[in-house]
Amino acid sequence: MKTFQKPLTAEEEACYIQNLQKGSSEKAREAREILIERNLRLVAHIAKKYQNVDEDMEDLISIGTIGLIKAVASFDASKGKLSTYASRCIDNELLMLIRSKRKTSKEVSLYEPIGTDKEGNEINLLDIIETEQVDVIDRMELCSDLKKLARLLEKLEGREKEIIFLRYGLETGREVTQREIGERLGISRSYVSRIEKRALGKLKRGFEKES
């Protein structure tokens, strides 16, 4: 266990956001990495809310980090705080993960039981959505480190990497459906799904290997 770096001050955050949006490519890349790394406490905290929903914590951390990456990429400083916006993006990614695991012929209800809290009380998706967000957490495993995820993404094969970046909007902030990706690449939706699953498996194994 290692302690996360402290969150940025409001002034520091504003400076890095300015560099991200208007600085040179080098400054923008550096600002992006710092904004993500210094907000990893937020990812860890939100992921902990889902630890009783029968999902592996490493999966929750990696998917939550994707939400953070998307938040930084698409954030508009004129519309509020980064932490508030990022919280919604992280929650959205984790909720999509849960829905995809539980998906049947019907949509998942916000009132559908998805687990229990530490006191044994039943919780549902609505409980999680309405939970007040906290910006900090003291400790979480090193596997959530952004630089590790970035290294693992770079190790994916060409088509795997392309599909993951499109699917989760890692560059544009806009998610692309499997069907849209299939049409763009000239392959079937089911083949896109298999490649995506294989790529996520590689990311998970990479986290486990480096932990």
Same domain, 211 and 110: no
161: amino acid identity, one letter: K
pLDDT at 34: 92
Kindly state whether residue 148 falls inside one of the protein's structural domains. no
Q: How many domains does the chain have?
A: 2
Same domain, 34 and 76: yes
Same domain, 21 and 101: yes
pLDDT at 180: 92
pLDDT at 107 over 50: no
Q: What is the mean pLDDT of residues 182-202?
A: 91
Give the Cα separation of 172 and 52 in Å (integer). 32
More confident: 131 or 47 = 47
> Using an 8 Å Cβ cutoff, are 137 and 169 in contact?
no
Per-position b or e across 130-153, b if 16+ CB within 10 A of its CB: eeeeeeebeebeebbbbebbeebb
Same domain, 183 and 130: no
CATH code, 61: 1.10.1740.10
Q: Is the dihedral of CA 91, 71, 160, 180 positive or negative?
A: positive
What's the pLDDT tens digit per position in 85-98? 999 999 888 888 77
Same domain, 99 and 173: no
Name the residue range of residue 53's domain. 2-143
Mean pLDDT across the chain:
77
Give the Cα separation of 163 and 172 in Å (integer). 13
Confidence of residue 69 (pLDDT cuts 50, 70, 90): very high
Give the Cα separation of 71 and 137 in Å (integer). 19
Type and span of the H or E element at 71: helix 57-74
Instruction: Copy the structure tokens of residue 119.
Output: 């006191």
What lies within 8 Å, CB to CB, of 198 at 6+ separation is 160
CA-CA-CA-CA torsion for 103, 162, 88, 32, nearest 10 degrees?
160
Same domain, 111 and 176: no
Q: What is the mean pLDDT of residues 108-125?
A: 57
Percent of the chain with pLDDT over 70: 73
Give the Cα separation of 6 and 186 in Å (integer). 45
